[in-house]
Amino acid sequence: MKKGKNLSDLYKNIENKSFNVEEAIKFFVEKKRVKFDETLEVSLNLGIDPRHADQMVRGVVSLPNGNGKTMKVAVFAKDKKAEEAKAAGADVVGSEELAEDMQKGNLNYDRVIATPDMMGIVGKIGKILGPKGLMPNPKLGTVTADVKIAVEAAKSGQVQFRAEKNGIVQAGVGKISFGSDKLVENVNFFIDSIQKARPSGAKGTFIKNISISSTMGVGINVNI
């Protein structure tokens, strides 16, 4: 009941009001919870149909201030590349044995990276990794010979984004404890990155709506 009342009070504070990015973030920072550091999330409704290849929006972005999330990274690599991955901070490094472990349902990872020579092994568990959004992909920099850079980027708060079937792209872009200035910088950087990722097949208005919310709070539509 208390949680419901808190949300109700928050909605009253935003009713019939217009917000820009800075004002919306200031609202969340001022209304932050004392015992829980919420994640600030951004959602963009795009004027695309992701079912068409020339309208897919997908990529990665390294936020200026990171996303505040502790990333658990698994790497498929052998020999020297495996050592590089471990030195860069990968949580788990392996090959066939790692694939077998994942087949058993051990998929508690935020990012899976693989060297090109490991894709034969990774491909065998693609049906497991794909639905979880964990399948390594060259376009996202997660199939690479330079595992050191890939692991460090993941650990620093690099965010992957992909348009869902309804044309919505969303991502966590920081913790409320970051404060307004860092969150504004992250949000604007993320929006700008999506704008730059506009596909060739997109027609008319690309970014139709932008909403900012917190983990346990309300959603605020912001002026584009």
pLDDT at 2: 47
The first and second tokens of residue 47, run together, are: 């004027």
- For residue 139, the Cα-to-chain-centroid distance in whole angstroms is 15
pLDDT of residue 14: 63
Q: How far is CA 145 from CA 49, 68, 82, 85, 206, in A?
A: 33, 27, 11, 10, 34
CB 214 within 8 A of CB 29: no
Domains of the chain: 18-67+158-222 (3.30.190.20), 73-155 (3.40.50.790)
Question: What pLDDT does 3 receive?
Answer: 47
Question: What pLDDT was estimated at residue 8?
Answer: 54
Query: How many C-beta neighbours within 10 Å does residue 141 have?
Result: 18
pTM: 0.81
Cα separation of the two ends of the chain: 35
pLDDT of residue 121: 96
- Rounded average pLDDT per 10-residue block, the chain, 224 residues: 50 67 92 85 95 92 91 96 97 97 94 97 96 92 96 91 92 94 96 94 93 87 87
SS3 117: helix
DSSP annotation of 19? B
Q: Which residues pair with 172 in a beta bridge?
A: 41
